[in-house]
Structure 1
């Protein structure tokens, strides 16, 4: 079994995007997108999900999103047009020459995956982790929470609803200027638009994860949606191997 490899591809505006991969070349391609303030390493690699999936026969590709980890985070507002993450996603799919592949995400990665499908990407199967129906349609409210955490960074005390976001930004050494610009580029996805996501889709979510609404409701709203419950809340669910196992079972 190969170790994690990293290459860089060009995203929107020439931004360098780090793409990490695990698994033997020739395995079924699986593209996984991480969540806000996180990274491919934290969401997929560190706690074993990527290894579970590569052992199941997948070649797993995991980009660091713009303004995260090893990818560029420019400070020019022009580098963050609406749906820039979708444009980056399309660039990654093209650079990797992916045609017959599966696509998944966690939290912001799930939003990006859905919007990528609505923009024309056509994976065989789709995985939406840590995401509920209101997390897609009510993104503006969720985004405002993170903008507030950025704007008050360093002054937020324990017990404040933004404290966890501040702590995670500190741990991940987030570039707050780039992150704030990125947040402004993400838009709501209406419940009506969800019906256009027609491939088999797994909504996998921690039993205590209610940050983005009900994953069961999202699964019910999708034409071919299914739901899998795993342990944990929004922060901890990616640390359990159950998530990787549920994804592998669905994609098999």
Structure 2
């Protein structure tokens, strides 16, 4: 597989977002999880390659404050739902109309809210997500804000120890990440009825970090629940994730 084609695209406020692209065909816009990156979530474990082999183009932005995208430290760069506004800006800048949308964890929350705000993919995948991760995201966000605030004192056995380890591995800009977390709010369950396209709720068998995927599936008008091996973190490393994406998006 060739190297990803990377370009920097200004968002609605001029903040530069790195977008990595592989393949050709129907675009699939893939949104990674918190503290992660496009490479970690989609490229390193072969999911983008699986999509490319199936005839899709993988379009993979690094979210604001992540990966190769800008990481501003001013609070004004993080208005409410800034990640959603970034998605809207990228869809417009890239001229995406006939495309699919996939999000993992925080990327799934962003994808769901983007659809509710008018982004219109052909098919939608919400991965690593349950109902409580959308309707109770502020509680989830508070956990990570606390992990950032206590970063230097977290030790093994602390519930936030794994989050600290991942932030360390990803060299997370904790100032930018904390500001970003303050921009993210809940999605009411009743709002989910507005997501009308075919949707797959894709979750690791042992992943309940963001609540119940079954409850999320039930709250969506046209959704199916698909399980793959793994926990919230390990499911990203499973080839079954890429296989499930291909099977659903190729249908």
Q: Which residue of the partner structure matches residue 235 of structure 1?
A: 233
Partner Cα separation in structure 2 for residue 119 and residue 135 of structure 1: 18
CA RMSD of aligned residues (A): 0.8
CA contact (8 A) 1:3 1:23 kept: no
**Matching residue of 1:12:** 12
* Contact 1:12–1:79 (CA under 8 A) maintained in structure 2: no
Q: Find the counterpart in structure 2 of residue 36 from structure 1.
A: 34
Match of 1:247 in 2: 245
Indicate whether 1:76 and 2:108 are aligned: no
Instruction: Say which SS state the counterpart of residue 81 (structure 1) adopts.
Output: coil
The separation in 2 between residues aligned to 1:164 and 1:238, in whole angstroms, is: 15
Q: TM-score, normalised by structure 2?
A: 0.98
Distance 1:59 1:209 in 2: 28
Q: Which runs of 4 or more aligned residues in structure 1 lie more than 6 Å from their structure 2 counterparts after TM superposition? A: none
User: In the TM superposition, what whole-angstrom CA distance separates every residue of 1:7-40 from its partner, at most 9, and x where no partner exists?
Assistant: 110113211100001112xx01110000000000
Report what 2:123 is aligned to: 125
Further displaced range: 71-80 or 1-10: 1-10
Whether 1:66 aligns to 2:64 is yes
Deviation at 1:219?
1.0
- Which of 217, 220, 223 is the matching residue for 2:218? 220
Matches within 5 A, 1:38-117: 38-117=36-115
CA distance in 2, matches of 1:18, 1:4: 11
Alignment gaps of 5+ in structure 1: none
Give the aligned partner of residue 145 of structure 2: 147
**SS in structure 2 opposite 1:7?**
strand
- Please give the TM-score of this superposition, normalised by the length of structure 1: 0.98
Match of 1:161 in 2: 159
What is the CA deviation profile of residues 184-216 of structure 1, one whole-angstrom value per residue up to 9, with x for unaligned ones? 001100000011101000000000111001111
Q: Distance in 2 between matches of 1:4 and 1:215?
A: 32
Q: Is the 8 A contact 1:12 1:84 kept in 2?
A: no
Count of equivalent residues: 250
